[in-house]
Amino acid sequence: MKDTLSGHGSGRIGPNAVLQLLPVLEAAGGAALRDEMLDAAGLSAPPSDTGLMDEGPAAAMHRALRRRLPGRAPDLLREAGARTGDYILAHRIPPLAQRLLKALPPALAAPVLAKAIAKHSWTFAGSGAFRVVSTRPLVFELTDNPLIRGEHAPHPICGWHEAVFDRLFQTLVDKRLRTRETACAATGASLCRFEITRG
């Protein structure tokens, strides 16, 4: 069993939590919806795509979208999460590493990818604490997830994270893998728990 803990108290997160959502918002509701969500996040312009950004505006944008469009927000956030996964594949994981992962049997590739995700978890976990609980089965835990901090819902709401993990594991390990959030802090759980299994 692999156990990796990565927590950062800087309160900063990767800008793709916002940047990849903007074109999704524009496609869904035009520039008006995009600008409304930027304003709700306290942003006068999109964040830079280099370095990190304050996690507060990112969380505010996700929260505002869930309140503004409760019926559509889950799908829009999942689409943004998939786009974030695409960005990571295009810009953050070297082509050679991708080829090596794809060449490995899934049982070997999954732990390698999980370790790399844990190493760079600040990009999506911000000041939360990310942990790989196990690799067989593949289980992640995110404590104090900044993108849903303080929220309350009757069901798990971390679809953005699910979609990021789906895109990475389906592309690099096994296209049959599916991520399911089995516990969510928004529902009263102590943390957000993600299980990745063949769907």
Domain boundaries in the chain? 4-198
End-to-end CA distance of the chain: 22
Per-residue pLDDT of the chain (199 residues), as tens digits, is: 333 333 334 599 999 999 999 999 999 999 999 999 999 999 999 999 999 999 999 999 999 999 999 999 999 999 999 999 999 999 999 999 999 999 999 999 999 999 999 999 989 999 999 999 999 999 999 999 999 999 999 999 999 999 999 999 999 999 999 999 999 999 999 999 999 999 7
CATH match of 4-198 with 3.30.70.260: no
pTM assigned to the model: 0.93
Least Cα distance to 82 among 176, 187, 159 occurs for 159
**According to DSSP H, which parts of the chain are helical?**
16-19, 22-40, 55-68, 73-91, 95-103, 106-119, 122-125, 159-172
